[in-house]
Amino acid sequence: MTHFLLLVLDLLGTFVFALSGALTGVRRQLDLFGVLVLSFAAGNAGGITRDLLIGATPPAAIADWRYLAVSMLAGIVTFYRYALIERLKNPVQLSDAAGLALFAVAGAQKALAHGLNPAMAALLGMLTGVGGGILRDVLVTQIPTVLRADLYAVAALAGAAIVVAGDLLQVPPAVSTLAGAAVCFGLRFMAIRYGWHLPRAATGGQEPPA
Amino acid sequence: MTHFLLLVLDLLGTFVFALSGALTGVRRQLDLFGVLVLSFAAGNAGGITRDLLIGATPPAAIADWRYLAVSMLAGIVTFYRYALIERLKNPVQLSDAAGLALFAVAGAQKALAHGLNPAMAALLGMLTGVGGGILRDVLVTQIPTVLRADLYAVAALAGAAIVVAGDLLQVPPAVSTLAGAAVCFGLRFMAIRYGWHLPRAATGGQEPPA
Amino acid sequence: MTHFLLLVLDLLGTFVFALSGALTGVRRQLDLFGVLVLSFAAGNAGGITRDLLIGATPPAAIADWRYLAVSMLAGIVTFYRYALIERLKNPVQLSDAAGLALFAVAGAQKALAHGLNPAMAALLGMLTGVGGGILRDVLVTQIPTVLRADLYAVAALAGAAIVVAGDLLQVPPAVSTLAGAAVCFGLRFMAIRYGWHLPRAATGGQEPPA
């Protein structure tokens, strides 16, 4: 897979995630600037956090103006065509699953390339995928969906883990990347379709604090 | 403009922003420590985030004790003279606009000096100005005012953009810095005075989730 | 004190803090993944933030898999044995005080070793101790307990300050470390036992916004 193709896929993932941020912003009645901030945060916070943690400064999303451009584009389209984007909910969810798959495998590869140990490389891949959604939700004071949603982070972790395992077993990167992305996308797709989710702990009927 | 003058202005901006953090802390009934944390966060989080993103560690606000000192001073004054500071609301709002102007232009210059591309340098200038207020609000679980307020971030972005444009056009830095700060301050002042604000998206009457 | 002993104590502190994160996650009805995220965040966010601020990337908690392992262990135990851990509340509070003491002194030493000035080294020690709890609470959209709790951060700051003072006075590190940890633990223990807390500002009866 060429470097150029990877960049295109990365920007596509950013665009899709930025859409989810912009939708949240419009729903919470933020102004245009707020919507653009949520677009950028949802599209790039995962990758930025990963880059800060592995010491790759300035983060790609800051150094390369194209990440900013696609994030703004997603925000502006959503702001002025909100009804349209809302109606596209199914396509949006599918491309979100695709974005998650891509970010997870790309994030794991970048972490491996910076010499992280396998367990942390897999986790940083997952973080690349879920970080944007976490910041998006924290900014509108909502408990991050990913902490409660059906197999969202687990799908990302599975995809990233496959990349890391492929690296340990010296499988060609293109193969493990494709396999990881396919597994992540597949798991997420099945979770949406069949409502798969992780267990919650038994708290003996105790209510969460308000 | 000498280095010394810049430092004085930077510390003044920190002090004013720290006041806004301390006021929030007292209003939310935090204890003395909580008020001081909000003072420091509001006064310094924007600059710290910028420095982390451009790889300038340790951030100036951490390496130089004077940022801490003026933040604590603002917190302590507000804590023990709350009624007085509340009564000064108009002067506080004006100095906040001045702080915003200063942080935006200084942040953009620092980002340019670290070789960021023009678009990101302008955004990092804006982030320097608004980052502190965002963390302040997140810490008390409030949707950041800046995501909804009248031209706050836009004023900062305009000021930062003028600095960046001046750099591209090789205008002397002192000139573009003054022009950028004046535009930011002026925009913010007019927004407060006339209630200027950005549009919100039409959501077809849909209410935001509670 | 040998390097090995320090590592063991650091991992113990991480485990205890991770327990507090996991308890919060279970109480807020997060799923298994959410509980593990809160475990890791509560156990490691303080140290990670400190390492990012002093430029020590990748942070120890990311580079060394054992921090992850003990965090996951705490999360899994809490998830499947929630009732048991809740019943252990007193022991948990005591070990939390021990974890705070350890993180505060270790954090201050690491900051000194990276050449921070004394005031910031003490504050970074405190941040190491309280950062995890702040992120834990922000993620579940709660105002961080530490901003309102009885002498939590002050105990950490006192412990860290003793380490820094010892460094300035050239006391042997083992002595100031033990003294700092003892003071932090003692203060926190007394605060729990006698309900010591910091003053809140007089707001003239004004209610905090909802």
CA C62 to chain centre: 17
Q: Span C118-122, mean pLDDT?
A: 90
CB contact under 8 A, A27 and B143: no
Q: Three-state DSSP class for B31?
A: strand
- For the stretch B136-172, pLDDT in tens is 988 888 888 888 776 888 899 999 999 999 999 998 8
Interface test mutation site (partner C, options A112, A120, A151, max chain C beta carbons within 10 A): A120
**Cα B199 to the chain's mean position, in Å?**
22
CB pairs A-C closer than 8 Å: 91
**Coil, strand, or helix at residue B141?**
coil
Q: Do B53 and A59 touch (CB under 8 A)?
A: yes
Q: How many Cα atoms within 13 Å fall on the side-chain side of residue C158?
A: 15
**pLDDT of the residue at B29:** 86
Residue the block writes with tokens 């444009």: B165
Residue of A nearest to B54 (CA): A58
> C138-152 pLDDT, tens per residue?
888 888 888 877 688
Chain A contacts to C (CB-CB under 8 A): 52-55, 114, 116-117, 119-120, 123-124, 134, 138, 141-144, 146-149, 153-154, 197-204, 206, 208-209
Mutate to test the interface with C, among B30, B40, B71, B136 (most CBs of C within 10 A): B30
Question: Are A27 and B208 inside 8 Å of each other by CB?
Answer: yes
| Long-range CB pairs of A10-14, under 8 A, 24+ apart, other chains included | A10/A102, A10/A103, A10/A106, A11/A66, A11/A67, A11/A70, A12/A95, A12/A98, A12/A99, A12/A102, A13/A43, A13/A98, A13/A99, A13/A100, A13/A102, A13/A103, A13/A106, A14/A43, A14/A44, A14/A61, A14/A67, A14/A70, A14/A71, A14/A99
A-B interface: how many C-beta pairs under 8 angstroms? 91
Closest residue, chain A, to B151 (C-alpha): A33
What is the amino acid identity at position C188? R
Determine the Cα–Cα distance for residues A173 and A186; give it in Å rounded to an integer: 20
Which tens digit of pLDDT belongs to each residue from A68-96? 999 999 999 999 888 887 777 777 777 78
Q: How confident is the model at residue C12 (pLDDT cuts 50, 70, 90)?
A: confident
CA C58 to mean position of chain CA atoms: 20
Cβ–Cβ of A65/B202 closer than 8 Å? no
Q: Tokens representing A162?
A: 């496959």
Across the interface, whether the CB atoms of A31 and B198 are under 8 A apart is answered yes
Q: Which residues of A touch B124 (CB under 8 A)?
A: 62
Rounded-to-integer distance, Cα A143 and Cα C108, Å: 32
Collect all residues of chain B within an 8 Å Cβ-Cβ radius of residue A66: none
Q: Measured between CA atoms, how close is C157 to chain B, in angstroms?
A: 11
Indicate the residue of C119, C146, C203 with minimum beta-carbon distance to B82.
C203
Is the confidence at residue A5, as pLDDT, over 80? no
Report yes or no: A205 and A157 within 8 Å, Cβ to Cβ.
Answer: no
Q: What is the pLDDT of residue B202?
A: 67
Q: Give the residue on C whose Cα is nearest the Cα of B39.
A: C147
Contact call for A134 and C138, based on CB within 8 A? no
Interatomic CA distance for residues C35 and C19, integer angstroms: 10
The secondary structure of residue A31, as a DSSP letter, is: B
Q: Is the peptide bond before C59 cis (omega within 30 degrees of 0)?
A: no
Length, in residues, of chain B: 210
Q: What is the pLDDT of residue B206?
A: 46
The residue whose two tokens read 């070793």 is C113
Between chains, do C147 and B62 touch, taking CB under 8 Å as contact?
no
Among C48, C143, C151, C168, the strongest candidate for a mutation testing the B interface, having the largest count of B CBs within 10 A, is: C143
Q: What pLDDT does residue C203 have? A: 65
- Of C5 and C37, the structure prediction assigns the larger pLDDT to C37
The Cα A123–Cα A125 span in angstroms is 5
> What pLDDT does A54 receive?
87
Contacts across the B-C interface (CB distance below 8 Å)? 92
Q: Which residues of A touch B (CB under 8 A)?
A: 25-35, 37-38, 48, 52, 57-59, 62-65, 68, 78-80, 82-83, 138-142
Inter-chain touch C120–B38, beta carbons under 8 Å: no
pLDDT score for A210: 37
B55 Cβ contact partners less than 8 Å away, ≥ 6 residues apart: A57, A58, B114
Q: In degrees to the nearest 10, what's the CA dihedral of A16, A67, B123, A38?
A: 10
- Which of B23, B24, B29, B77 to mutate to probe the C interface, most C CBs <10 Å? B29
Buried b (16+ CB within 10 A) or exposed e, C16-40: bbbbbbbbbbbbbbbbbbbbbbbbb
Structure tokens at B181: 């700060």
| For C58, nearest residue in chain A (alpha carbons) | A54
CA distance C106 to C163: 9
In 3D space, the residue among A66, A77, A55 whose CA is nearest the CA of residue A11 turns out to be A66
Q: Do C153 and B63 touch (CB under 8 A)?
A: no
Percent of chain C exceeding pLDDT 90 equals 34
**Touching partners of C (3+ C-beta pairs < 8 Å):** A, B
The Cα of B201 is separated from the nearest Cα of chain A by a number of Å equal to: 6
Q: SS3 of C200, please? A: strand
Confidence of residue A205 (pLDDT cuts 50, 70, 90): very low
For B200, the 3-state DSSP assignment is strand
| Nearest by CB: B53 against A62, A79, A82 | A62
Query: In the predicted model, what is the mean pLDDT of residues C44-56?
Result: 90
What is the pLDDT, as a whole number, of residue A28?
Answer: 87
Per DSSP, the three-state class of C169 is coil
Share of chain A above pLDDT 70, in %: 91
Mean pLDDT of C173-189: 91
Confidence of residue A44 (pLDDT cuts 50, 70, 90): very high
Task: Give Cβ neighbours of residue C61 (< 8 Å, ≥ 6 apart).
Answer: C14, C43, C44, C47, C48, C51, C67, C68
Distance (Å, whole) CA A26 – CA A38: 10
Q: What angle do CA C29, C33, C35 make, to 5 degrees?
A: 50
User: Domains of chain A: which residue ranges?
Assistant: 3-194
Low-confidence ranges of chain B (pLDDT < 50): 1, 205-210
